[in-house]
Amino acid sequence: MKSDSIEKNIIFDMPESYSILHAGELSCGIDFLSDFWQEKYLKEFIRDGGSKIKFITGRPGSGKTHLLRLAADLAEKENYKTVSFSARNIWMHDFKEIYVEIFRQCGILSCLEGISRHLIEEMGFSCGDIPEGMKFIDYLSQSGSGDALTRREIRSQLRQIFLDNSLLDNNFALACSMLTGSILGYPILEEQNRELLLAWMEGDRSIKLSQLRALDFYPSRITKYNARHMLRSLAEVVRMGGYSGLFIAVDDLEILTSRSSLEPVHYTKMKREDTYESIRQLIDDIDSMKNIFFVYAFDRELMDNENAGLKSYQALWMRIQNEVVGEHFNRFSDMVDLDRMAMQEYTPEVIQAISESLAVSGSLAISESQARLDGSVPPSPVDEKKAREIAAQARTGALGIPQLILNAMQEENANV
């Protein structure tokens, strides 16, 4: 299951004709896990202030990417900010790169707008009374309430919300305070300075820190050493903005062991070990963070490769090895083995149900006119006999059950 990016309407290694199916429409079997995550983590543990890291592994075609997309769908429904990317596109050895990608995708201004609405309500005003497009300070001036006392109260609220919050880095808090002030219209922030603050928060090295000192802002640059602390601050701002938390899905981590020159990124031994160390540090720091759900996905190769895989970096392996034991699939486990889950949950009846969902998707994607033009045949679900063959084949084969189902349906179509 390879992908350059995590998109929510393609599953397994499907041909283009199946892209109409949304992740949430194919949850047969996998809902044993996804529903559990939704109830125990998204609705409770993460929303209540906890943080968690999960690792998803399995053979190619076992449904790893699909689970990431389905979990992201569920997180959106539970009002989380969701971030999804592939390790094939983002360097993983420098946590600053990960932070920057998360920052770019989460839309911090929408969070700050949520905080500004909360501030307005706290001051006894109603956001619904402010005309669309009008800043709060202009509304106050228009209604005769924009006196010095009210302006001082705005400053006091901003200080209390951001600078008095122990979960926020001081520089991050000050930048958010000034940006929220620009949304409210007070304190005034020029557009150029607004862009400078956002560029600093995004880790842009092209800006000169001396430019920020004119704002009485004396930050250090965001680096791999402070990026996790910045991520904690970002997650807190997301929560303060009215969201349940931050959901982050990282796919294709097996790229760490690839030696192909065709890959967009290539990891040397040093960069690979830096990546493992970065994940190790994140595991150690996760309990100090709040409202963050990290999910990494990778092929079994990353588990089995003794020389370059997870086992090659003892400091990381010691923290996750206890998760890879037990006879039965444990839904609380932080190391999610989709092959083991499939052996337990993907009965022939479930396999048939999955194929029926795929068949519906393929039929919707193939229009009547297309069928006349190129002879496309709507896919057919597998029968009970084939479903049992797939279940047996999956015990020793190189592919996961979902991919075996798709292959069987394609073979059947080829014979029609």
Note the pLDDT tens digit of each residue in 200-209: 999 999 999 9
The confidence score (pLDDT) of residue 415 equals: 59
The Cβ of residue 398 has, within 10 Å, a number of other Cβ atoms equal to 12
Question: Which pLDDT belongs to residue 370?
Answer: 45
Residue 355 to residue 336: CA distance in whole angstroms: 23
| Mean pLDDT of each 10-residue bin along the chain, 416 residues long | 37 40 57 93 98 94 90 96 96 96 97 97 94 95 92 96 96 97 95 96 94 92 96 98 98 92 84 97 95 97 93 93 67 90 84 79 48 55 83 79 81 62
Half-sphere exposure of 298 (CA within 13 A, CB side): 20
DSSP, collapsed to helix, strand or coil, labels residue 57 as: strand
* Angle in degrees, CA 354, 406, 377, rounded to 5: 100
List, in sequence order, every residue forming a beta bridge with 31; answer none if it has no partner.
none
Inter-residue contact 268 to 256 (CB < 8 Å): no
| Pure H helices in 131-208 | 136-142, 148-158, 170-184, 191-201
> Which pTM was predicted?
0.86
What is the pLDDT at residue 18?
41
Torsion over CA: 147, 148, 154, 156 (sign): negative
Whole-angstrom Cα distance, residue 145 to residue 140? 5
Peptide linkage before 131 cis (omega within 30 of 0): no
- pLDDT at residue 37, rounded to an integer: 96
CA dihedral defined by 262, 267, 268, 274, rounded to 10 degrees? 180
Q: Are 247 and 293 in contact (CB under 8 A)?
A: yes
- pLDDT, position 8: 34
299 alpha-carbon distance from chain centroid? 18
pLDDT at 249: 98
With helix as H, strand as E and coil as C, how does 345-370 read?
HCCHHHHHHHHHHHHHHHHHHCCHHH
User: What's residue 413's pLDDT?
Assistant: 63
| Structure-block tokens of residue 71 | 């979990």
Beta-ladder partners of 51 = 292
At 412 the pLDDT is 67
CA–CA separation, 414 and 377 (whole Å): 9
What residues contact residue 19 under an 8 Å CB cut-off, 6+ apart?
Answer: 9, 10, 365
Q: What is the pLDDT of residue 120?
A: 97
